[in-house]
Amino acid sequence: MVYFRVLCFFLTICVRFCAGKMDLDGPEYAKMPPVYHLDPYEECFFDPGGVYCDINFALVSDEPSALLNMIQQYSSENVIHYNHSNLDYGICITKKYKNRTEPMIDRKMTLERWLNHTFWKNYKLKTRVKDPLYCGASADEIPIDGPDIFVAVMSSIIITLNLLGSLLDFFGANCKFAKGLVSCFSLRQNWNRLVATPDQTNLPTLKNLKPINGIKVICMVFVISIHSFLPVTNYMSNTQYFESFFNNYFYYIIFNGTIIMQTFFIISGCLFVIKYCLDVEEKTANIMTALKFIFFRWLRLTLPYAFLLGFTSTWMRHLGSGPLWQFFVQRFIGNEVKDCRRNWWMHLLYVNNYFTGSECMGQTWYLAADMQLYCVSICVFVFFKSVKSRKIILTSLFLIGCLFRMWNTYYHNLDPILTMTPEQSRYLFQRDKNFIHLYVPGHTNLPACVIGLTLGYIAYTYQNHDIEKFKKYRQALWLIPLVLVGIIYTGLIFIIFRDAVSMYYMKIFFSAASVTLFDTFVAILILGCIFKIEDIYTSFLEWNGWTISSKLTYSAYLVHIGLIRYVAGTKAALIHTSFIVMLMYVLGTVTLSFAGAFVFWLVVEAPLNQIFKALIHINRKARNKNEVV
């Protein structure tokens, strides 16, 4: 621990001095216009015809300006600073429009005129308002249309089935109808499924998969925590405070921690191999086997996903109001509604991660990438049956994935690790080319998939082997979390020396090496826990609470972004951020996300999942009948 603190201290000194970055003291910082501003929202609608607009505008000048030069120089260090020449304001346009005798024909022109007057008076600067404007009037109402009605009807049917299934479960125990499809919607039975312990099995591998549940939950909590920064890093009154976080080494485990999503690809590949080997390996697998696996996987993911996709594209926009509702919900959700209604087929086919510019449920890029990698995995194991051929194919896929990452880094001049920056926190990475070209495509995540498949194959193959001789390496396993933290912190090197020519080729190599090292050590840790090579991590990760919570992780991943945007959109004033405020938002968001996931799981995911299992059971019965005939 002492060595770790010394290393972090050294990295902090490097960040502060080696990079030669520009810092401003309080008085100098105060000379810059605030990045965010909000006029009082409710007062805007006291008068009839009130109009409130969320606008984005740039600072410009027709003549040399020392202040603008300082702002641009300070903002050029975009890894650690906001863009202080690109401002977001919420303005009551009817309060600013003094000349009521003229019609307010062009809102953009009116706003720009007022901003130019104000900024020239205070800063000797001018502004250029960007399109589009997000404006709302007191009389504005979003009409209910056909898709809204359709989703409302489907939601009513699901709620009715839940009530009917629960009542029949309580009072119709002897009713055959109660034991049929409707019983899938029984809240009591679904609650029992949620808290049930895994069935006992004679296969050691399946008995020892419980640590994976703990890893899934911990990683999901980390992902939600990262996303929960949205409400507190947007429309805040003290932007300098958040920028100061990037001078503190501790927070870089958060800012560079986006690599943790690789863990889910590893787990997915591992579980696929074990399930495939148990269900199919000893039987004759063919193209129909692959299609069935893919279809059932698609059905399992799509049933709850499609429900939430429908809700997001319809009723989400009706749920709230506020000065930031236009920005966070009409801006994101309003465009999201259009994108979801136009591009719904991309989501149902799981190809949305290859279409940039869409704002429809941005977090679902992972589901698309995971489905694509699942299809690759099933094809490898169905069409290549010998161990030797699988080794060749998996090695080739691993190298191809690494080459894709290196090529994208070279061609698009990317950073090797996706880093959360102040500016990217404003848009949830939607405009970040590292996110678009390196993070979300399925082919750039092939290394994690291959390592996961290898992990699962080793776990299944060696389940009955004596592993006592490996327990002497338990101390090495204890160090793996520190190694993972070290890999995350190596991203600091490319932040400190990002402009150095020598770093250009280093980051190309590191874009593949970082995920390979991270994925490998995660896989080793999981393997050690599966075979109980050590007891500390294993005992912690095998806690039954993780098993229950892990069933909610899919629902939590689906619902948490909508919840975060709702919280951000209903803020009525600028927030004064502090460590305690950020901690409260993180804990509150994680808690509410899992609480919402709990309700969604009981009412939507679990019933639809039971229907999915019933379809599989019917398919297996039909197959067995044909085999007998």
If pLDDT is split at 50, 70 and 90, which confidence band does 390 have? very high
If pLDDT is split at 50, 70 and 90, which confidence band does 628 have? very low
pLDDT at residue 543 above 50? yes
Identity of the residue numbered 345 = W
Least confidently predicted of 335-349, 351-365, 463-477: 463-477
Percent of the chain with pLDDT over 70: 85
What is the rounded distance in angstroms from the CA atom of residue 311 to the CA atom of residue 154?
10
Query: In the chain, what is the straight-line distance between the N-terminal and C-terminal CA atoms, in Å?
Result: 67
pLDDT at residue 506 above 50? yes
What is the rounded distance in angstroms from the CA atom of residue 3 to the CA atom of residue 135?
54
Specify which residues 236 forms β-bridges with.
575
Least confidently predicted of 161-170, 299-308, 523-532: 161-170
Least confidently predicted of 34-48, 344-358, 514-528, 610-624: 610-624
Any idea of the CA torsion for 143, 144, 145, 147, to the nearest 10 degrees? 140
What is the rounded distance in angstroms from the CA atom of residue 263 to the CA atom of residue 265?
5
Q: Identify the three-state secondary structure at position 77.
A: coil
pLDDT of residue 441: 93
pLDDT of residue 461: 86
**Stretch (H or E) spanning 90:** strand 86-92
Q: Which of 212, 220, 322, 347 is nearest to 269 (CA)?
A: 212
If pLDDT is split at 50, 70 and 90, which confidence band does 203 have? low
pLDDT at residue 287 above 80? yes
pLDDT of residue 197: 72
Residue 132: asked if its preceding bond is cis (omega within 30°), the reply is: yes
If pLDDT is split at 50, 70 and 90, which confidence band does 403 have? very high
pLDDT of residue 76: 87
Average pLDDT, the chain: 83
What is the rounded distance in angstroms from the CA atom of residue 396 to the CA atom of residue 399?
5
Q: Which of 370, 325, 378 is nearest to 352 (CA)?
A: 370
Asked if 258 contacts 358 with a C-beta cutoff of 8 angstroms, the reply is no
What is the rounded distance in angstroms from the CA atom of residue 518 to the CA atom of residue 454?
15
pLDDT of residue 273: 93
pLDDT of residue 178: 54
pLDDT of residue 18: 46
Tens digits of residue pLDDT in 546-570:
989 999 999 999 999 888 888 887 8
Q: What is the pTM of this model?
A: 0.89
Q: Identify the three-state secondary structure at position 533.
A: coil
Least confidently predicted of 75-89, 402-416, 425-439, 539-553: 425-439
Average pLDDT over residues 183-198: 85
What the block records as the tokens of 543 is 């806690």
Q: Which of 369, 372, 366, 385 is nearest to 276 (CA)?
A: 385
pLDDT of residue 186: 86
Query: Counting Cβ atoms within 10 Å, is residue 379 exposed (0-12), middle (13-18) or buried (19+)?
Result: middle
List CB contacts of 561: < 8 A, sequence separation 6 or more: 227, 361, 362, 363
Q: What is the largest CA-CA distance in the chain?
A: 89
Count of CB atoms situated within 10 Å of the CB of 288: 9
- Chain centroid to Cα 71, Å, comes to 32
List CB contacts of 199: < 8 A, sequence separation 6 or more: none
CA distances (Å), origin 270, targets 265, 267, 297, 377, 501: 9, 5, 15, 10, 39
Count of CB atoms situated within 10 Å of the CB of 37: 14
Specify which residues 54 forms β-bridges with.
90, 134
The residue with greater pLDDT, 153 or 20, is: 153
**Stretch (H or E) spanning 73:** helix 66-75
- Chain centroid to Cα 36, Å, comes to 25
What is the rounded distance in angstroms from the CA atom of residue 313 to the CA atom of residue 315?
7
What is the rounded distance in angstroms from the CA atom of residue 192 to the CA atom of residue 183?
13
Asked if 163 contacts 187 with a C-beta cutoff of 8 angstroms, the reply is no
Q: Which of 350, 330, 331, 333 is nearest to 341 (CA)?
A: 333
Q: Which of 363, 367, 362, 406 is nearest to 265 (CA)?
A: 367
What is the rounded distance in angstroms from the CA atom of residue 387 to the CA atom of residue 380?
11
Asked if 423 contacts 466 with a C-beta cutoff of 8 angstroms, the reply is no
Q: Identify the three-state secondary structure at position 57.
A: strand
Average pLDDT over residues 492-512: 75
Phi then psi for residue 54, to 5 deg, are -100, 120
What is the rounded distance in angstroms from the CA atom of residue 197 to the CA atom of residue 332?
40
What is the rounded distance in angstroms from the CA atom of residue 11 to the CA atom of residue 547?
38
